[in-house]
Structure 1
Amino acid sequence: MRILTKLLLFICLFFSLTVQAQWYETQGHASTKGSSVEIARSKAVENALKKALLVSGATVSSVQQVVNGLLTQDQISIRASGSVNSIELVDEVHSGSLITVTIRADIFPQEKKCFAVNFKKSLLITRSHLVHREQANIGEIYDIDKSVMAKLGEQLNLQSTFTKTSTIINNKTDFARLNNSLASDKISILTQSLSDTTNSQYVMFSEITNLSFDQQSTNGWMFWQQGIYPRDFGINIYLYSGLNGQLLWQNSYNDTAPWTFLKRVNVDPSGNAFWQSEYGVMVSGILGKVIKDIDENIMCEPSKGKILKVAGNEVIIDLGRDNGLKIGDEFSLLHLTHFTANTGKAYTGFSVSPYKVKVIKLSGDTATAITPDGQLFGNIQVEDIAIRYEN
């Protein structure tokens, strides 16, 4: 018997606007032996939801809170757990005493357990954008958009536990223009393109918003000396997922320190004199806060890599020894899907594959993995996702 139910249930949750949900499609199974169809259906949904929560990075303990057993052919009753935004029952198939359901869950990966902390995520830092270029006139520090990002990349590679960082700072991107025009779709395309080109899981953009001077001199009483004025430094940081181009996190940072250089002296913002000055030390302190915040936002993200090659029961993924992978690590596979909801809106999500693979060979930036039982892949293809999680 085949029952097709499409019922989208929206649950009112209170989340930060920076948190992004992602659709996952999974299958769950349960037996009707010794129980009613309704109970078996509920268990099958729990089984499917558990798989979706695992690969999304959310906690599995929320499954019992999400599905409360009041599932019938015409109605699914959901109690919010803080992870699941909505659920769609896509398909239901009965075969003998086995019931198989396919669900589509919109999940906020907010409730996390840090099983991913042993793996370094690859982060691409792009050149910043001077929002008010004229503010760089004093000292002619126009290259601060390059030097600050170069310094951030250096400090991340020295201090960060969870990132492997690369930079592209010689050329500007279109991020600032697109961000100013609220072109989120085009930012997503830009992010994914940069991610593909540089083999990065995350892409960081930034805007330097303030280099202005305060009006009051810090040594105004020394009338025989040139005034030393406080100078501001403000920067906005945006962290995007390279896999789907979604904004994961953003924050603004601001501080002030005395500008101790003479007014008409040109200052090299990449030189030691700048970074050892009071102003440079203040900027470096802000970068330290950025590193801490990036680590906190990346550390619990599941380790995801793109599939570069599929052959028989073997795949090559774009994560390797430099990311902390080891021989024997296991990954699940996600197939990229596109679907249209009942509202007519198109979505992109992941179908959780039944295949799991184990790493048998490593290089610095790639891993070769196979299905342990030799099973050949079905619809898994290049550009699909390999994701590591723990039960």
Structure 2
Amino acid sequence: MKNWMWVIMVVLINSVAHGQEITATGSAVLVEDLEVSRDNAVRDALRQASLQMGGSIHSSQMLVDGLVTSDQTSLKTNGQFRHVRILQEKISHGILEIKLRAEFIQEGQCAMNEGNGYRKAVAVAGFALQSPKQAVLGGLQNIEQHLPSVLANTLNGHHRLHAMDSGNVLMFNSVDRAPSSQNNLQRLSNSVELAKELGAQFVVSGVIRDLDMINPDAGVPQIWDKPLNLIGLSREKRMRNFVLDVYVHDGISGALMFQNTYATAGEWEYDDYAKTGFATPIFWKSNYGEHVKDVISTVVDDLNSNLGCQPYMAKIIDAKGDFIRLDTGGSVGMRPGDELTVFRTSTFYNLDQQGLTQLHDTKVKATITQVQPRFAIARLDKTASRFAIQREDVVVAW
């Protein structure tokens, strides 16, 4: 995936309680498309980092009549990398060399401590229809707003995420270019605005790619229907597609954190004139509705596992003296006495002069003193002005 390394959160940390930082260098041959070379160099650096952390390379060959018909090499690790940051890029003699730093998390660590215990605030935006005409059958035009509502309600039934329904907001001007319609770093600037408005750490959005019938003529009566029934055979079932792209953007930087495509198909049991609507009782009772419900459950599971282990972050609304007001509250599980770390935000630029959000650890601790439903107040162990802590900086809990 092009520019995939920017999908990972661009957070710089000096020490982490639940992971180990590692620095590695990778290289790739410089080709015409710089992003391709950069992707390959980052992959090589992460491969080197994996080997440093005990990973192993496995290779296998299949021979038929003395000829190699299959040659596969794979890398296995006992954990995963997150918070990858590019430290240095250098081009020399046609080779792009990248030095990066990443945090290595062993498998199972987050499952044990559930990240940090806070519910991450998630804004669920509208899901645009790629082909609105496909929604006419069954009267499913309400799916753009009702799917986010169903998704948000289902997410709130779990303990890791606090979802807010924003189905009336569509994130993409052109669904054909989603999720990177704003720039080639797959950042979405309007996701930052929506996150700021709702106090969300992440923004979930997506595109409904396909609602079309697989075999639209299957329900048309045929002269051979009766003979087939006599021998125990029935007419072909009318099957309908459901293909959904889901994206998650970071509310602070707008970076793409997660994306996946989900596809299923189910029997559409209604005629061409029935108007069930999306997410109605009659819709859920159908075979097609059951398959859609299974997809939504899978999406919820993926969002919980991918976002639940992320560091908790909240923006600073204002700072005065030793106190700061945070864009968070009791709904995420914040309680008086909780301690978080203050990070200062800044922007750095890559080789293409594109700005990326970076966080700097100030080592300043913020202790929650008051919690309201929509905001919280924290006392700093050092004066805010001394470290230039201000609006738009963030607090982090690992």
Give the partner amino acid of 1:217. Answer: A
Given that 1:226 and 1:262 are in contact with CA atoms closer than 8 Å, whether structure 2 keeps it comes out as no
Higher mean alpha-carbon deviation, 349-358 vs 179-188, is at 179-188
Aligned match of 1:145: 144
Given that 2:324 and 2:379 are in contact with CA atoms closer than 8 Å, whether structure 1 keeps it comes out as yes
Pick aligned residue for 1:304 from 296, 313, 320: 313
Given that 1:259 and 1:279 are in contact with CA atoms closer than 8 Å, whether structure 2 keeps it comes out as yes
Higher mean alpha-carbon deviation, 173-182 vs 356-365, is at 173-182
- 1:372/1:17 CA distance change after superposition, 3 Å: closer
| 1:200 pairs with 2:209 | no
Displacement of 1:275: 1.4
Distance 2:371 2:380 in 1: 16
| 1:52 pairs with 2:53 | no
Displacement of 1:138: 1.8
Pick aligned residue for 2:280 from 271, 296, 304: 271
Given that 1:22 and 1:106 are in contact with CA atoms closer than 8 Å, whether structure 2 keeps it comes out as no
Given that 2:339 and 2:365 are in contact with CA atoms closer than 8 Å, whether structure 1 keeps it comes out as yes
Given that 1:239 and 1:249 are in contact with CA atoms closer than 8 Å, whether structure 2 keeps it comes out as yes
Give the partner amino acid of 1:237. Answer: V
Matches within 5 A, 1:82-121: 86-87=86-87, 107-108=101-102, 111=105, 113-114=109-110, 115=113, 116-121=115-120
Aligned match of 1:70: none
Distance 2:179 2:380 in 1: 46
Higher mean alpha-carbon deviation, 322-331 vs 173-182, is at 173-182
Distance 1:168 1:179 in 2: 21
Matches within 5 A, 1:60-79: 60=20, 62-63=21-22
Aligned match of 1:217: 218
Given that 1:234 and 1:252 are in contact with CA atoms closer than 8 Å, whether structure 2 keeps it comes out as yes
Distance 1:118 1:319 in 2: 14
Aligned match of 1:190: 190
Distance 1:346 1:149 in 2: 30
Aligned match of 1:167: 165
Displacement of 1:146: 2.0
Displacement of 1:19: 4.0
Displacement of 1:108: 4.4
RMSD: 3.4
Question: How big is each residue's C-alpha offset from its partner over 1:123-176, in whole Å with a ceiling of 9 and x where there is no partner?
Answer: 111111111122122223211222222211111112x22111111223534354
Question: How big is each residue's C-alpha offset from its partner over 1:52-110, in whole Å with a ceiling of 9 and x where there is no partner?
Answer: 352xx9713x45x769xxxxxxxxxx97355655436xxxxxxxxxxxxxxxx954456
- 1:155/1:132 CA distance change after superposition, 3 Å: same
Give the partner amino acid of 2:391. Answer: V
Distance 1:374 1:333 in 2: 12
Aligned length: 319
Displacement of 1:287: 0.3
Distance 2:361 2:85 in 1: 18
Distance 2:175 2:323 in 1: 42
Distance 1:262 1:343 in 2: 54
| 1:336 pairs with 2:335 | no
Pick aligned residue for 2:334 from 292, 311, 325: 325
Given that 1:22 and 1:107 are in contact with CA atoms closer than 8 Å, whether structure 2 keeps it comes out as no
Give the partner amino acid of 2:253. Answer: N
Given that 1:22 and 1:108 are in contact with CA atoms closer than 8 Å, whether structure 2 keeps it comes out as no
Distance 1:263 1:355 in 2: 63
- 1:382/1:252 CA distance change after superposition, 3 Å: same
Aligned match of 1:8: none
For the residue of structure 1 that corresponds to 2:387, the secondary structure is coil
Gaps of 5+ in 2: 26-45, 54-80, 89-98
- 1:307/1:182 CA distance change after superposition, 3 Å: closer
Given that 1:214 and 1:229 are in contact with CA atoms closer than 8 Å, whether structure 2 keeps it comes out as yes
Question: How big is each residue's C-alpha offset from its partner over 1:188-230, in whole Å with a ceiling of 9 and x where there is no partner?
Answer: 2111011111111110111111111122738987459997401
Give the partner amino acid of 1:146. Answer: Q
For the residue of structure 2 that corresponds to 1:204, the secondary structure is strand
For the residue of structure 1 that corresponds to 2:214, the secondary structure is coil
Higher mean alpha-carbon deviation, 169-178 vs 194-203, is at 169-178
Displacement of 1:326: 2.0
Distance 1:148 1:340 in 2: 37
Aligned match of 2:155: 156
Aligned match of 2:36: none
Give the partner amino acid of 1:383. Answer: E
Displacement of 1:177: 4.5
Gaps of 5+ in 1: 1-14, 25-50, 68-77, 89-104
TM-score, normalised on structure 1? Answer: 0.72
Given that 2:316 and 2:326 are in contact with CA atoms closer than 8 Å, whether structure 1 keeps it comes out as yes
Distance 1:206 1:163 in 2: 18
Distance 2:179 2:365 in 1: 42
Give the partner amino acid of 1:165. Answer: A
Distance 1:152 1:345 in 2: 33
